Chains A and B, each alone.
Chain A
Amino acid sequence: MLSTLIIISAVSMGGIGAALAGFLAFADKKFKVEEDPRIEALVGALPGSNCGGCGYPGCRPLAEKLLSGEAPPNVCVAGGNETAIKLAALLGLEAKEHKRTLAVVLCRGGNVEAERRASYAGDLTCTASDLTAGDKSCAYGCLGYGECVEACKFGAMAMNDNGLPVVFYDKCVGCGACAKACPRNIIEMHPEDHALFVYCRSKDKGAWAKKVCSVSCIACGLCVKDCSVTGGITLKNNLAVVDYNLAPQNDESTKRCPTKCILSGIEPAMTKQNYLASIPKKAG
């Protein structure tokens, strides 16, 4: 009795399955959507991270735009030069060099350097704490809750012991997700050949800026004077601003900075390996 039941159900289920499989096989042939086979090839050549750094929602939409000619082949930030060459070859275009951009965190006021005005008891995200103007006295500095690190899809960022985000020079692809996530716009995207940065965003007057953070730009103007090209560095809203078309990227203008907030060429040293080596090893 039981065995008959098993046989009946097995046969009927198998029969239904076979019939539906047949229908699906037929539908696959009959209703096939013709798609340009090059899209599949282009998607294959893209990194598949869907980071959105190119300005399109993901890798497949980018592939479609590449094919229609709306996007140039060197637009993929995550893939870099290699992908640009591959894509250009697939599209039959001449490969143009992909200029690598990198995220730079323009604040060095961590837990040690920046003053805290109160203890914050709300939700521990940057955007939420920014609603109350943050718990640090500086109204422009890093809030330190790591929304940028969460936004990074390439494992190229971490929060260090000092409560500041670090960008790994070797891992960052320049998609800009961290810059978008930062509610205070502290992270900027820069081409690889930029080396001179003012690591402060404070527009406060010098006295206040100095009071609330030991590494803030106090708008003393020494870097402006020391810059070999006139107008290479200017003061705007109590903050030194580098003009990347004019200012030489060496460190001549940084030497006399009293708070060491303008520095040159420190980014390449921060690779993932160097960062991991800098963390004190925990016992056990």
Chain B
Amino acid sequence: MPWRFLFVGGIGNHKKGISMGHKTFAKGIHPEYHKDAASSRIEKAALPKTVIIPLSQHAGAPCAPLVKKGDVVVEGQKIGDASAFVSSPVHASISGKVKDIELAEHPAGVRGMAIIIEGDGVVKDWTAKGAPVDPSTLAPEAIREVIREAGIVGMGGAGFPTSVKLAPPKGRAIDTVLLNGCECEPYLTADHRIMVEQAEKVVWGLRCIMKAVGAGAGLIGIEENKPDAIEAIKKAVGSAMNIKTVILEAKYPQGAEKMLIKAALNRKVPVGKLPLDVGVVVNNVGTAVAVFEAVNLGKPLIERVVTISGEAVREPKNLMVRVGATFEDVLAQCGSIKGNGDVRVLNGGPMMGIAQSTLTVPVIKGTSGITALPVKDARPLKYSPCIKCAACVEGCPMSLMPYRLGEYGRAMRVDDFNSWAGMSCIECGCCSYVCPAKRPLVQWIRIAKLKGRQQAAKAAAASK
């Protein structure tokens, strides 16, 4: 029957292209990956002369400074902390003197309080004294305490404090720890290089996290387009029975928490719920390495691997950068920016990264990459009316209707937005990417989410 063929063709549309039959989630998109820096080894960046350390680099309560202007600090010293549960301390990433504590640029776009340290050039030695300890001998509470004190947050970008993630509420059993090595954002290769060069540390970190949450199984999800990483991780895992490597289709947003859980474990996180409601904890591979360093070396999260890439960067690189080094500093070590034209510099990759207005913003714990694109690649200001082609509906990994949500956002109709489940949008940007009319759908959706939060806060204040 002809209609049946039509039907099958329609449903299968999103799978057109590169699929090699690996595990994945429904919908999503296949952007051009531009992994220019994939083969360049992680290099140590030059020690910055000054660092700007924002007091809020994580989801949750911002820190209060523990130092004063003029204080002398040493590398790794805790300089900011908060008493709230959902928070994470910040540490001095270089030794030196506190120059000032003031409002400074923040890669999220809004200026915030930051501690500015002028360096004295002294470098602390963090190399290991002996062989790594066996994670199974550690107590879960002790691991969580070390992780909290080391200021470790999710290094994929959202910056959720890891110690909170690893402390599931009573009665919720976690059976699987999932390490996220997808790195589906175009241009970014930091996680890829970490898996290739530090596979042992990744696997050790995974074991440690499994011990902390009492999970029996560990999974490392890697996209099929990183064969060297898959090989390195498989080698590091060796014959361990409780840790598996899952090869996933290269598709955006494969690295989004909910998509990854669906692809790797075939579990669906219900709307408004967290991965721990389906017995899973997801962590970035970079976070696993940070856990290794915190537990074995006592080193807090003061530096991270950052991919500097994009068509406007002369030498794309993966650099080990101190938290707080400015984008200007980091870009200068990559041959700075090509050409005289306008450039868009993003904190992160091109899909979810935040465009910066100045290069004096610091690298923070969640900065996985600095992407510099010539502006001719940037989206034009003009968009045309929606032709209801449903490309966005086909691309939305959360199975929402972005064209509709976007309209509600633009008109600030929060109730309608909520009734179409708009709050479950993960802002991955697939809809804006595929829209042939170039409509800024994610931006409108973000307006509705913001207005929704404001209304809810107002209602909560009124009911008090």
Contacts and interface: CB of A to CB of B under 8 A. Distances in A.
Interface of A: 117-119, 121-125, 127-128, 131-133, 135, 137, 139, 204-205, 208
Given A118-B358, A208-B103, 5 more contacts: A122-B440, A122-B443, A123-B383, A131-B446, A139-B110
A135 B357 contact: yes
A123 B357 contact: no
Contacts of B443: 122-123, 128, 131
B111 interface: yes
B380 to A, nearest CB: 8
Given A119-B342, A123-B440, A139-B110, A131 B447 contact: yes
Nearest to A136: B357
Given A123-B443, A131-B450, A117 B357 contact: yes
A125 B412 CA distance: 12
- Interface SS of B by simple majority: loop
Interface of B: 103, 109-111, 342, 344, 354-358, 375, 378-381, 383, 410, 412, 440, 443-444, 446-447, 450
A137 B110 CA distance: 11
Given A121-B378, A132-B109, A133-B110, A127 B357 contact: no
A38 to B, nearest CB: 34
A125 B409 CA distance: 12
Contacts of A117: 357-358
A128 B383 CA distance: 14
Contacts of A208: 103
A121 B379 contact: yes
Nearest to B378: A121
24 contacts: A117-B358, A118-B356, A118-B357, A118-B358, A121-B355, A121-B375, A121-B378, A121-B379, A121-B380, A122-B443, A123-B383, A123-B410, A123-B440, A123-B443, A125-B410, A127-B412, A128-B443, A128-B444, A131-B109, A131-B446, A131-B447, A132-B355, A133-B111, A205-B103
A121 B447 CA distance: 16
Contacts of B357: 117-118, 135, 137
B412 A121 contact: no
B447 A128 contact: yes
Contact of B381 (A121, A131, A139): A121
Contacts of B378: 121
Contacts of B355: 118, 121, 132
Nearest to A204: B103
A125 B440 CA distance: 12
Contacts of A119: 342
Nearest to A123: B440
B111 A139 contact: yes
Contacts of A121: 344, 355, 375, 378-381
Of the listed residues A122, A137, A139, the one surrounded by the most CB atoms of chain B closer than 10 A to its CB is A122
A131 B355 CA distance: 12
Of the listed residues B342, B354, B355, the one surrounded by the most CB atoms of chain A closer than 10 A to its CB is B355
Contact of A123 (B342, B375, B444): B444
A208 B111 CA distance: 12
A77 B357 CA distance: 42
Nearest to A181: B412
A204 B344 CA distance: 27
Contacts of B109: 131-133
Contacts of B381: 121, 124
A128 B342 contact: no
Nearest to A118: B357
Of the listed residues A124, A128, A137, A139, the one surrounded by the most CB atoms of chain B closer than 10 A to its CB is A128
Contacts of A127: 412, 447
A118 B109 CA distance: 12
A138 to B, nearest CB: 11
Contacts of B342: 119
Contacts of B375: 121
A181 to B, nearest CB: 10
A125 B444 CA distance: 10
Of the listed residues A122, A123, A124, the one surrounded by the most CB atoms of chain B closer than 10 A to its CB is A123
Of the listed residues A119, A124, A208, the one surrounded by the most CB atoms of chain B closer than 10 A to its CB is A119
Q: List the 7 closest A-B pairs by CB distance, nearest first.
A: A118-B357, A117-B357, A133-B109, A123-B440, A133-B110, A132-B109, A128-B443
A128 B110 contact: no
B373 to A, nearest CB: 11
A122 B446 CA distance: 12
Contacts of A123: 383, 410, 440, 443-444
Nearest to B110: A133
B440 A128 contact: yes
A133 B375 CA distance: 20
A131 B447 CA distance: 7
B446 to A, nearest CB: 6
A133 B108 CA distance: 9
Nearest to A131: B446
B305 to A, nearest CB: 26
Contacts of B110: 133, 139
Contacts of A125: 410
Nearest to B439: A123
Nearest to B382: A124
A117 B359 CA distance: 11
B327 to A, nearest CB: 13
Contacts of B354: 132
A84 to B, nearest CB: 30
Contacts of B356: 118
Nearest to B108: A133
B116 to A, nearest CB: 15
B328 to A, nearest CB: 14
B444 to A, nearest CB: 7
Contacts of A132: 109, 354-355
A274 to B, nearest CB: 33
A210 to B, nearest CB: 15
